[in-house]
Structure 1
Amino acid sequence: MSDMLSKFDVLLADLDGTLYQGPDAVPGAVDAVLGAGERGVRTVYVTNNASRSPDDVAHHLSELGFPARTPDVRTSSQAGAAMLAEQLPSGAAVLVVGTEALADEVRAVGLSVVDSADGAAAVVQGHSPDTGWRLLAEATAAIRGGALWVATNVDPTLPTERGPMPGNGSMVGVVRIATGAEPQVAGKPAARLLQEARDNASSTSPLVIGDRLDTDIEGGNAIGAPTLFVLTGVSTARDLLQARENQRATYIATDLAGLTRDPDDLVPGPRAGWRTEWDGETLVLSGDGGGAEPELDALRVLCAVAWERAGADASTVTVRGDGDAAGSAVSALGLA
């Protein structure tokens, strides 16, 4: 029997919520990545977080047990700097709204870093917990004066141990409101970061893995790559069921243990033991399951039917379980 690892030559894996949660590795994630490496399938670690350097990210991953080297890490700061270098002459002044790690990437592509709008040819904006009004005001002045604007990512929130906190997208929103401008975006779900990760790995058959539909899965779809959605992070089963067409995953798994499963077991579609029918706009699940993971099988069944019926937008789909087993599955998935 073939498994997921037999189909792909590289894993383009998200970090927070997929490989680790806060200071701890997601259970089973280290073993899954090590096992993939033993099979000859490399993992490239792809993150929207522009606040840390690739060296720091690789060091953190290594401390958790992942086989990570600096060349295995691709950050949105690298992608953002590359976008600037393609559009600016060597030595051009860039106002950096972000950490020193982002500034270092800008310098690495031959551009200079400034801290005011005066003479700035571009603004690059990435997450930093220390960004304040004065720097946002300088960015606003530069952009209103005609400077190129690149955002490393537009994630509205950043996962923390205290729950979601304002992410780079929230700070980008401040500048967007003040200027009326729209930035070019380097990170997921824009294609640039994942394209760089794929091309640098010389991959012809990548698998994009992540826990967020609006970044990881949408980003994978943007580059035409198969995607694996895992339920270990931000997006929920309900989010997946009601996802727009560009945020729907090719494969659905509880976690990275799915990499050793038969791909046919993970795709949305019919499953023995579960039946569905429509009652108006409500999708009714019945049956008693029967597979090794009946709840996930129920989700795969429900997604396939909901997406087919709803077309590009499934946001109004609701679910009801008919019978004890179906009711328990719907409740466990958070769909009741």
Structure 2
Amino acid sequence: MTALGESYDVLFLDLDGTVYRGDAAIPGARQALSDVSARQYFVTNNASRTPATVADHLIDLGFHAPVDAVVTSAQSAARLVAEMVDPGSVVLVVGTEALAEEIRLVGLEPVRRFADAPVAVVQGLTKDVNWEMLAEAALAIRAGTVWVASNVDTTLPTERGLLPGNGAIVAALRAATGREPHIAGKPARPIMDDAVRRSGGRRPLVVGDRLDTDIEAAHALGADSLLVLTGVSTAWDVINAPAHRRPTYIGADLRALHQSPAELRIGPRPAWHVESDGDDVIVEACADAADVLDGLRAVADTAWRIGDLVRLVPRGEAAHRMVTGWR
């Protein structure tokens, strides 16, 4: 059997909610990645830390993580800004010093005030965001400057649960200015293009926990994807996912990389009887239906063919327990 992780030449791995939550590695992640021969690149929408800091964090948690294998949305945002403004231009930074440093590295001048006459605004997650930061950025954006957001994730998975992400801050500036930013991070192409250039990968597998970022980014790249259910997106989200957010494979966590692609692929399963009746999806477990994720793969296959919001109708105790657990 060829395992999923051996079927691709490079893995583009999300971090928050996929490899770790805050300061804790997700159970099974260390061993799963250490036993995979495919090259691994860590592609993160979190723009609050430098690649070196991210690599150090991964190493502290027991992962193998060379700094050049870390691709951040801060790097991609800085590159995107540099392509849109003249060399040496002044850029107002709403974010951490790590984001400001990426702006310096592409030959631009980071500032924090509208009075410094910026020609662009770059925005990334910072836990120190305040009204003054947003006010300076709003003035610049309303004046017509280029606006680049590192990402628009509305939430950030942590060991405490889901906390506000950069997308929540972007929403505040969107409301205040009526403008839309250019986006560097997943699901947009800039960060994925950077990952491809950095890795030289010809057949990547995108791995993550969010349909609206990781999986949608895989579709934008034209790559296969593995959704792990250790972060934001849920089984119910999978069932009702639009076409551009549907994963190729579903696994419980990163240990799925050691299962065969056939085990993980969306499709019918012998142990689960699933059929459609109008907008209803009727689910029934056979006697040997032990794998709940197999049930999800079978249900998703039928639900996606219907194409609209579905109603699940479980028949039997096993199917009822499975469907109830998804809500």
TM-score grouping bracket, smaller chain normalisation: over 0.9
Tell me the SS of whatever aligns to 2:175.
helix
Count of equivalent residues:
326
Give the partner amino acid of 1:116.
Answer: R
1:136 Cα offset (Å): 1.1
TM-score normalised according to structure 2 size: 0.96
Q: Indicate the RMSD between aligned Cα atoms, in angstroms.
A: 1.4
Percent of aligned pairs with the same amino acid: 48
Confirm or deny: 8 A CA contact 1:274 1:289 kept in the other structure. Answer: no
Tell me the SS of whatever aligns to 1:164.
strand
Matched, 1:147 2:145: yes
Q: How does 1:57-206 map to 2 (within 5 A)?
A: 57-118=54-115, 119-206=117-204
Tell me the SS of whatever aligns to 2:196.
helix
Confirm or deny: 8 A CA contact 2:279 2:306 kept in the other structure. Answer: no
Task: Show structure 2 runs of 5+ residues with no match.
Answer: none
Tell me the SS of whatever aligns to 2:283.
strand
- 2:317 pairs with 324, 327, 332, which one? 324
The verdict on how the C-alpha distance between 1:289 and 1:188 changes in structure 2, with shifts beyond 3 A counting, is farther
Q: How does 1:260-271 map to 2 (within 5 A)?
A: 260-271=258-269
CA offsets 1:133-155 (integer angstroms, 9 cap, x no match): 11211111111112110000111
1:289 Cα offset (Å): 5.7
Q: Distance in 1 between matches of 2:160 and 2:171?
A: 22
Confirm or deny: 8 A CA contact 1:272 1:290 kept in the other structure. Answer: no
Task: Show structure 1 runs of 5+ residues with no match.
Answer: none
TM-score normalised according to structure 1 size: 0.94
The verdict on how the C-alpha distance between 1:325 and 1:166 changes in structure 2, with shifts beyond 3 A counting, is closer
Match of 1:234 in 2: 232
Matched, 1:256 2:254: yes
Q: Distance in 2 between matches of 1:202 and 1:134?
A: 42
Q: Distance in 2 between matches of 1:290 and 1:72?
A: 42
The verdict on how the C-alpha distance between 1:289 and 1:257 changes in structure 2, with shifts beyond 3 A counting, is farther
1:281 Cα offset (Å): 2.1
Confirm or deny: 8 A CA contact 2:24 2:159 kept in the other structure. Answer: no
Give the partner amino acid of 2:108.
Answer: L
Q: Distance in 2 between matches of 1:331 and 1:171?
A: 34
Confirm or deny: 8 A CA contact 2:47 2:72 kept in the other structure. Answer: yes
Tell me the SS of whatever aligns to 1:131.
coil
Confirm or deny: 8 A CA contact 1:272 1:289 kept in the other structure. Answer: no
- Name segments (4+ residues, structure 1) moved above 4 Å: none
